[in-house]
Amino acid sequence: MPWVQFVQIPKTIHYPEGSLYSWLVGPSIALNVGLRYVEGDYIARMDDDDIYRPKMLETMLKFAQDGDYEFVSAVAKGPDGPIHPYHHPVVGSVQTWLYRSYLKCFEYNLDSWRKTWDRPNEIDLYKRMHNAGVRFGYKPCIVTDIKPRPGQMDIGSKAWVNERKKDVEEL
């Protein structure tokens, strides 16, 4: 079985135009297609701006197994330093997630952008898992780095805000 498989997905926009909506749910279709190809015991998500530190997967797998957790996360480091975790439950950045593959039944919500709270795809996903009783573990150590995408100085919502400021200035 090959380690990397290329799957062509037709570009489908399932949300209003604009960088906010792209940030909130843009990768959801591709992530859900990827979940259908999972064959192993665990799922780890990596985006184009993420760099796993050495032994990231080994560290998180051992933490999950030792604690009998179904979903584990840790700390990611961005250009401005460590990224604070989400709360209730405590969950680190999506770049650090490792979870049991039987949880792939929790697909990314293509309509999370319509909500007035917990709108980003990853927050909506982990909250639904938590509400279903999934056992979470959080390891407070840095295991992943996040780099700005080409042409940007920031990451995540801060990059979106700065991009939006540029759009307004150009008007």
The dihedral region occupied by 78, where left means phi > 0, alpha psi between -120 and 50, and beta the remainder, is: beta
What pLDDT is recorded for position 71? 98
pLDDT at position 130 over 50? yes
Provide the percentage of residues in the chain whose pLDDT is more than 70: 89
Q: Can you give the C-alpha Rg of the chain in angstroms?
A: 16
Please tell me whether residue 7 adopts helix, strand or coil conformation: coil
Q: 80: exposed, middle or buried (C-beta count within 10 Å: 0-12, 13-18, 19+)? A: exposed
pLDDT tens-digit series, residues 19-33: 778 878 888 999 999
pLDDT at position 163 over 80? no
56-63: list long-range contacts, CB under 8 Å, 24+ apart: 56/96, 56/143, 56/144, 57/98, 59/139, 59/141, 59/143, 60/96, 60/98, 60/139, 60/143, 61/98, 63/137, 63/139
Q: What fold is seen in the domain 19-170?
A: Spore Coat Polysaccharide Biosynthesis Protein SpsA; Chain A (3.90.550)
pLDDT tens-digit series, residues 106-128: 999 999 999 998 889 999 999 99
User: In sequence order, what DSSP letters do the residues of 120-148 get, joined into one string?
Assistant: SHHHHHHHHHHHTTPPEEEEEEEEEEE-P
pLDDT tens-digit series, residues 84-103: 898 889 999 999 999 999 99
The model carries a pTM of 0.87
| Segment 131-141 mean pLDDT | 97
Q: How far apart are CA 74 and CA 137, in angstroms?
A: 9
Instruction: Return the closest-CA partner of residue 101 out of 144, 71, 122, 126.
Output: 71
pLDDT at position 171 over 70? no
Helix, strand, coil share (%) of the chain residues, nearest 5: 40, 20, 45
The two tokens of residue 20 are: 């906010």
pLDDT at position 3 over 80? no
Band (pLDDT 50/70/90 cuts) for residue 157 is low
**In whole numbers, what is the pLDDT of the chain averaged over residues?**
88
Band (pLDDT 50/70/90 cuts) for residue 2 is low
pLDDT at position 168 over 70? no
| Segment 144-149 mean pLDDT | 88
pLDDT at position 69 over 60? yes
